[in-house]
Amino acid sequence: MAAFLKEYYTTESMEAELTDPNTATYFFKNEEGEVVGFLKLSWKDTQTEPDYPDAMELQRICLRVKYQGHHLGRQIMDFAMQEAKKSGVPRVWLGGVGT
């Protein structure tokens, strides 16, 4: 895991992801302002697979353990589907673990 994180989650790679116009990262907070989860969406050539150029990849969906079981994952997924509808893509696919 440490090697994976060192290779794929560098400051430079995270900065590039957050500024790429073909990706969007959303952070979800509770009423106290604590981040409880996040979502990363990718379009066009930023997707992890080249097979779906007209689609949107739901690349990451994460929820802190203490908030699992509270239906927040469903709310985040619904948000992702709303974003797909807004962007007009014909399909959405779920990326693999660690992408």
Put simply, whether the predicted model's pTM sits higher than 0.85 gets the answer no
Tokens of 93: 């696919």
- CATH for the stretch 22-94: 3.40.630.30
pLDDT, residue 57, reads 95
Q: pLDDT tens across 30-88, in order?
A: 999 999 999 999 999 889 888 888 999 998 888 999 988 888 888 999 999 999 999 99
Strand partners, 24: 41
CA angle 66, 17, 80 (to 5 degrees): 55
Q: What's the rounded Cα separation, in Å, for the pair 19 and 77? A: 22
